Chain A
Amino acid sequence: MTATTTPELLSYEDALATYDPVMGLEVHVELGTKTKMFCGCSTELKQDANSQTCPTCLGLPGALPVVNETGVESAVKIGLALNCSIAEWCRFARKNYFYPDMPKNFQTSQYDEPIAFDGYLDVQLEDGEVFRVEIERAHMEEDTGKSTHVGGATGRIHGAQHSLLDYNRAGIPLIEIVTKPIVGAGERAPEVAKAYVAELREVIRALGVSEARMEQGQMRCDVNLSLMPKGSEKFGTRSETKNVNSLRSVERAARFEIQRHAAVLSSGGSIVQETRHFHEDEGTTTSGRVKEEAEDYRYFPEPDLVPVAPPREWVEQLRAGLPELPLAQRNRLIAEWGISAHDMQSIRNAGAIAPIVATIEAGADAASARKWWMGELARSANEQGVDLAALPITPVQVARVSELVAKGDLNDKLARQVIDGVLKGEGTPDEVVDKRGLKVVSDEGALSAAVDEAIAGNAGIVAKIQSGKVAAAGALVGAVMKATRGQADAARVKELILEKLGVSEG
């Protein structure tokens, strides 16, 4: 195995003072189709090893592929969303190389005829600035199986005692999206990389073609990076950091490589063209496979498949049916909700846009939908370390809580208890209200009696209020709230107290 000595780094500021980074990002997205790209096997992976296989995805002698139409449709949708041209005619190609988890020892992919090409994606940085990333191509291919190397120190094939092969993943449809070289981002390059992957993930999700969960490997990113001296137009030698699998890691990997390249170059060394592995824990990369010469995959058109020729009318139908894309949606919502770009960025970072929109669609007003998701629920998700969307509460339920508050049946404090009950699995908001007996006391008689009781029992405070210290009424309100176990409308209680004492708010 390769030595894992920590490479020399140059400080980020010094690196950027001398060099301009050039990036290329390759993102693989597993499509959420029901069946694999070239056979009828299920794409459901929660099954026993090799249970989702057939002669075709096992590459048995004689078996042939057939293209998954939904896979093509998803690819076209992605291409359109990325402002690409859609090929009128394109072919699959075989990428030939040997690896035990690849059943045919070639990957059915696309080579010089991708289904989508020449597009762009506008990505938004933290401060709201929009950076345009040019897209080279998006092409269709199949995933490989999965190898588990047992008995070695590194988990890699070299040094392993034996390896286990699971072909359930073999043939799962993938779309590979490749950017053109990203230049001109300067010191913001790592941020652009992260923002690009984030924007792309949102686009993929908005299209409904994949859940694009990076932690589950449904979306994987390779970060290619090189430096050139400031002012130069000639790209340097690049490194390819493979399988960077979170937004944060994409940013860190780019940053690390900038510092590493700069250290090598500024000390007179030269960058080796190689693949590198990213280490999540340390945020570093180490050398993988050196590419002494360009790997020869002996691409040629896949003779077992007929060309894909998406009819123009169909492409136009798909274009017309595209959903509103995330950046446009965010801009619209900023206007509709009357919030700042900064607030929207917070909502976006919290993953709250979709839940809030759904809550509004379920009847809540925008302000309260935002309030619940960005307040109580965001806190809860944060505590549990899960995505907002993973909380066991639905936008419809949040909308119901909001409705109960609006009707005056709940106050905010009670509403928080209702939400707590729903999150704890006690049922729907209405069920929690019933079970926990949470209801604002709106019976004037009962409230009036409680106020009378508080006035009678707190002569000292009453005297203060009557002497003009209206603020002291808060203590009486507290006493009433305590007596009613929080179920009174605090504003109404205060009104009643002042009314009964003949004092005006002033």
Chain B
Amino acid sequence: MTTETTDNTENTVNIIKLTAAEIAAEIAAGELTAVQVTEAHLARIEAVDEKVHAFLHVDREGALAQARAVDEKVERGEKLGPLAGVPLALKDIFTTEGVPTTVGSKILEGWIPPYDATLVKKLKAADVVILGKTNMDEFAMGSSTENSAYGPTGNPWDLTRIPGGSGGGSSASLAAYEAPLAIGTDTGGSIRQPAAVTGTVGVKPTYGGVSRFGMVAFSSSLDQGGPCARTVLDAALLHEAIAGHDPLDSTSIDAPVPPVVEAARNGSVRGMRVGVVKQFRGEGYQAGVVQRFDESVELLKSLGAEVVELDCPTFDLALSAYYLIAPSECSSNLARFDAMRYGLRVGDDGTHSAEEVTALTREAGFGPEVKRRIMLGTYALSSGYYDAYYGSAQKVRTLITREFEAAFEKVDVIVSPTTPTTAFPIGERADDPMAMYLADLCTIPTNLAGNAAMSLPCGLAPEDGLPVGLQIIAPAMKDDRLYKVGAAVEAAFVEKWGHPLLEEAPSL
């Protein structure tokens, strides 16, 4: 094999720049072994993660064991899946049997789940190599990964800036070439916003498209796991591997997975009607972001799409509705962290009652943002306030869903900036929750309606040289449209730029 004769460092660099599709092809062809690929990525993590801090836990032994199993399959001539041997960074919100799962919180420090999430089972069945668990805002509450109880993650484009959140670890691992694939979860934008600010691709599938069993709940009716990658095709391959009906998740959709890989291989917007929503611009939008977005719309036109202006006034209410629904559900979902069965236990010294142990543990174990949302949600669900808060928010949600349905009568997909600004400096919004919440202005309506959406790079903002994300939104269970449009846009941009956007990131 050629790799054996190549210089090791150079070899590592070559391997880590490969896409998932390329890695899988090389392993299947015997050009690379899964162990080589895994070792290259583990070496990369070793080299750069001290700076990036994308990972909370690296499962070196587990990853190498999985890789060896793939290589044995190759030796035995077994047929491999399309992602066999490809390394992946897993958001630390999915339970992994025997591997710590913290959800970025102190309250679960030291907890070793006794079971694998359905998504993890699917990844293992697909012979994807799980490198470790990535950093995140505690319980996925945040837009910067600064709310992690284990310290922030740096944006590989500029380590003093946030990598987005809550899935900042997953996106940063991709941008830092620590992994070619990652898994995120998206409750209000936690896949798409990190993808946008790190110059990577992230997809929030249709709600119910990917099983939530084993995904630690933040807001059950909004949470959705999904794929993160550096290319649209890689995201599609991963999407296909993790999607599908799960009898253990009542809310999972019992229907065939949309043909996402086929769509990603046949990118085109010709003849498609693309909606541009009036509400997704204006005050708070960075000039460079708007500029790149407008260029993207022009690009879509030039590729043969018809652009339609849309007015969706209820979208302006989305943020408010979201910050009632998500905290309400979280106040209930997080009640189970009471020190009785697992995780942190504070005050268990024989002098405190069970109630006090629960209170002391929650006081010590939850960070300020989590506490803020538990309190908001507890209040919003209280009798006498329910109708005014939770009840009204659910009505807004219904209106937003209807507005999307009406919009999708007129257009095939909707496009917008993914996030109003590029990556902001770590610490800048830490004390201003409202400013932080605005990062999800464009992504939240999709979660409320349960639609599918993607973010992919559309250039660098001229004023700061940081990546800007283009969001594509499709109707529920039409996830394939994201990939059809995304692949076309990606190809056109790469042709225009001469290389993938991430090539312009400074080396770490």
A298-B383, A300-B381 known; A58+B332 contact, CB < 8 A: no
- Segment of A64-72, A171-179, A469-477 engaged in the interface with chain B: A64-72
- Can you list, as one digit per residue, whether each of B200-228 has a CB less than 8 Å from chain A (1) or not (0)? 00000000000011111101110000000
Q: Is the CB of B332 within 8 A of A300?
A: yes
Residues of the A chain whose Cβ atoms lie less than 8 Å from the Cβ of B336: 59, 61, 103-105
A96 to B330, CA, bound (A): 12
- Greatest chain B CB density within 10 A among A98, A104, A157 is at A98
The stretch from B245-253, B267-275, B407-415 touching chain A is B245-253
Instruction: Indicate if A313 sits at the interface (CB-CB under 8 A).
Output: no
CB–CB A62/B390 < 8 A:
no
Asked whether, in the complex, the Cβ of A298 is within 8 Å of the Cβ of B250, the reply is: no
B77 proximal to A (CB < 8 A): no
Which of the four size classes fits the interface of chain A?
20 to 34
Contact B113 A60 (CB under 8 A): yes
CB <8 Å contact, B250 and A61: no
Report the minimal beta-carbon distance from B23 to chain A, rounded to whole angstroms.
Answer: 29
State whether the Cβ of B437 lies closer than 8 Å to any Cβ in chain A: no
Size band of the interface chain B makes with A: 35 or more
A59-B341 in contact (CB<8A): yes
Asked if B296 lies at the interface with its beta carbon under 8 angstroms from chain A, I say: no
- Nearest first, the 8 A-B pairs at minimum CB distance are A105-B335, A303-B220, A298-B381, A303-B221, A62-B214, A61-B216, A62-B95, A59-B336
Q: B341 and A103: CB pair below 8 A?
A: yes
Kindly list 5 other residue pairs between chains A and B, CB separation below 8 angstroms, not including A66-B248, A163-B354, A304-B251.
A59-B341, A61-B113, A66-B250, A100-B354, A165-B340
B214 and A63: CB pair below 8 A?
A: yes
Inter-chain contact count A-B, CB under 8 Å?
107
Q: Is A106 an interface residue (CB 8 A)?
A: yes
**B114 within 8 Å of A (CB atoms):** yes
Which A residues are in CB contact (< 8 Å) with B220?
A: 303-304
Q: Which residue of B lies closest to A66 (CB)?
A: B250
Q: Are B108 and A104 neighbours in the complex by a CB distance under 8 Å? A: no
Within 8 A of B (CB), among A51-98: 55, 58-67, 94, 96, 98
Contacts of A491 in B (CB 8 A): none
Report whether A62 and B94 are in contact in the complex, using a CB–CB cutoff of 8 Å. Answer: yes
Residues of the A chain whose Cβ atoms lie less than 8 Å from the Cβ of B383: 294, 296, 298
Contact status A63-B213, CB under 8 Å:
yes
A305 within 8 A of B: yes
10 inter-chain pairs at a CB distance below 8 angstroms, sorted by A residue, are A55-B113, A62-B95, A100-B354, A104-B336, A106-B332, A163-B354, A296-B383, A298-B331, A298-B382, A304-B251
Question: For A60, what are the chain B residues with a Cβ–Cβ distance below 8 Å?
Answer: 95, 113-115, 341-342
Q: Does B386 contact A (CB under 8 A)?
A: yes
**A306 near B: Cβ within 8 Å?**
yes
In the complex, which residues of chain B have a beta carbon less than 8 angstroms from the beta carbon of A59? 336, 341
CB pair B113–A304 under 8 Å, yes or no, is: no
Interface string of A284-295 (1 = CB under 8 A from B): 000000000010
Chain A residues with Cβ under 8 A from B248's Cβ?
64, 66
Complex CA gap A396/B216 in Å reads 56
Which residues of A are in contact with B by a Cβ distance under 8 Å?
A: 55, 58-67, 94, 96, 98, 100, 103-106, 157, 163, 165, 294, 296, 298-300, 303-306
Given the interface pairs A294-B383, A298-B382, A306-B251, the reply to whether A100 lies near B338 with Cβ below 8 Å is yes
Which residues of B lie under 8 Å from residue A100 when comparing CB positions? 338, 340, 354, 358
Residue of B nearest to A56 (CB): B248
Q: Which residues of B contact A58 (CB under 8 A)?
A: 341
* B residues less than 8 Å from A294 (CB atoms): 383
Q: Roughly how many angstroms separate A66 CA and B118 CA in the complex, as a whole number?
A: 14
Q: Which residues of A contact B95 (CB under 8 A)?
A: 55, 60-62
Residues of A within 8 A of B170 (CB): none
A294–B382 CA distance with the chains assembled, in angstroms: 11
Distance in Å: Cβ of B133 to nearest Cβ of chain A: 13
Q: Which of chain B's residues have a CB closer than 8 A to the CB of A98?
A: 335, 338, 355, 358
B111, B215, B336, B355, most chain A CB atoms within 10 A: B336
Beta-carbon contact of A105 and B382 below 8 Å? no
Q: Most B CB atoms within 10 A — which of A59, A60, A66? A: A60
**A55 to B114, Cβ gap below 8 A?**
yes
- Across-interface contacts of B111 in A (CB, < 8 A): 61
User: Judging by beta carbons under 8 Å apart, are A61 and B332 in contact?
Assistant: no
Is A300 in contact with B250, judged by CB distance below 8 angstroms? no
Give bound CA distance, A294 to B103, whole Å: 35
Task: Give the interface centre of B101, B216, B335, B353 by most chain A CB atoms within 10 Å.
Answer: B335
A165 to B221, CA, bound (A): 31
Do A157 and B354 touch (CB < 8 A)? yes
B443: Cβ under 8 A from any A Cβ: no
Question: Closest CB-CB distance, B263 to chain A, in whole Å?
Answer: 28
As a 0/1 sequence over residues 349 to 360 of chain B, the CB contacts with chain A under 8 angstroms (1 = contact) are 000011100100
Interface membership of chain B positions 83-114, coded 1 if the CB is closer than 8 angstroms to chain A and 0 otherwise = 00000000000110000010100001001011
CB-based nearest B residue for A158? B353
Considering only CB atoms, which chain B residue lies closest to A296 in the complex? B383
Is B117's CB under 8 angstroms from A305's CB? no
